[in-house]
Structure 1
């Protein structure tokens, strides 16, 4: 906003001799208004940049098609409810881990223990872990989570008469450790279950479909470099070896 004022002159001069000089005065209010507008524009630009960054960093799911989003949601729900998938996900993020799938064939391979296999199904090894002579070799001294699961399907009725062949069948699964410092095998974890127990659901045992049970072992241990871990399982002919039912693994903490 511009204002004008007249400069003082000699009053004794005549009107024809007087000269009027206009002097431009800049208003302080106009200058402050311009500065305020400039600050407001700068603030709006900065807010726009922040909003743009939040949009792209906080909403990555917009880039996923609806079908892919639904599939990811279903997979995530499955992994949350499946302990086997949870362990596999955790161990896959560990700096050193191994996960093995179990198998057993009376006519092939090992006769008296579960045969652990790497490189099939969900099995893998990383960070220096090795499978040697059906045993897991620890790569470095430290804390490790050791786990294993054995699944069984036991036939509880194998005769024509009602209840024939029914008996208590103990199922056991053990993880042992061999260390050079100890010079002998030491049991780390073990569990025993009884199959074909007499319950209210006796009809389920007499139809020949079998009795199902799972033994799961898992705990944290301080292990030394070169230690070897192995399992011992009975009732191998009753073992379920479909993918995800019988497994053995270790991961570093």
Structure 2
């Protein structure tokens, strides 16, 4: 595109002044400068406004070749965003190593604390054992006593000893299960007899003292028998009979003892019968009845 210099009212084809110069050309001489020539702001007979025309001196002849324009400066490189720092793998590795090291130190500290507590508890336990051995009894003697007591408990679990009860009402004989020397352990006293709760070998014994003030010809009988709900009737285990136990009309006394080993079943009940309850002395050291499991 070429710029033209003209006057108001002249036709566009009419030229005046020097030849047009291509727009945007520059000369090599730095002393020359570009001059801006303003046109009239408004023409009376025109309905449009002329734009400003820039005249560049130095190349007035369009037929002559003008030197080419210097190349435009390239755009500057984009400014990097300094808000986001590039990741550094080395820094990440160092941070990870630091975290792992801290975790290992914490775990080692926990293990050390646990070992210290265990050592302290063992030391206190050793001191308690030493004080017990010096002030009380030795561990060997304590173990022996424990074994003795344990064996005694095992014996007590399956044993019973009953003593005479003077408040007799009817046969079989009634007994005292708790007072004095009497006890029951693992065997129950019920309905005037001892009830077996476990099948096994048992030693059964009974002692009865008979005494009177006059001599008679009546036979003295002492019987130990058993019965079971699953079996009808009674089964005699031991029996003793006394005949001619007195020679004159004076006071007399005779002892009857029965004892033997039997295999008893569960729910067997043991009882004692005598011929005359009025002739029985019910002192606990003279009349008694018992059983114990082997």
TM-score, normalized by length of structure 2?
A: 0.45
Q: Give the alignment partner of residue 144 of structure 1, picking from 191, 199, 202.
A: 202
Query: How far 1:95 sits from its partner (Å)?
Result: 4.1
Tell me, which stretches of 5 or more residues in structure 1 are unaligned?
A: 1-55, 61-89, 157-165, 199-204
Query: CA–CA distance in 2 between the matches of 1:137 and 1:215?
Result: 23
Query: CA–CA distance in 1 between the matches of 2:171 and 2:282?
Result: 15
Q: Which residue of 2 aligns with 1:230?
A: 271
Query: CA–CA distance in 2 between the matches of 1:167 and 1:125?
Result: 37
Query: CA–CA distance in 2 between the matches of 1:173 and 1:243?
Result: 17
Q: Which stretches of structure 1, 4 residues or more, deviate above 6 A after TM superposition?
A: none
For CA contacts below 8 A with separation 6 or more, give which structure has more relative contact order.
Answer: 1
Q: How does 1:117-136 map to 2 (within 5 A)?
A: 117-127=176-186, 129-136=187-194
Query: How far 1:170 sits from its partner (Å)?
Result: 1.2
Query: CA–CA distance in 1 between the matches of 2:284 and 2:212?
Result: 18
Tell me, which stretches of 5 or more residues in structure 2 are unaligned?
A: 1-136, 142-151
Q: How does 1:80-91 map to 2 (within 5 A)?
A: none
Query: How far 1:181 sits from its partner (Å)?
Result: 3.9
What SS does the corresponding residue of 1:183 show, helix, strand or coil?
strand
Q: Which residue of 2 aligns with 1:103?
A: 165
What SS does the corresponding residue of 1:237 show, helix, strand or coil?
helix
TM-score, normalized by length of structure 1?
A: 0.52
Query: How far 1:228 sits from its partner (Å)?
Result: 0.8
Larger Rg: 2
Q: Which residue of 1 aligns with 2:175?
A: 116
Q: CA RMSD in A?
A: 2.5
Provide the aligned length of Structure 1 versus Structure 2. 146
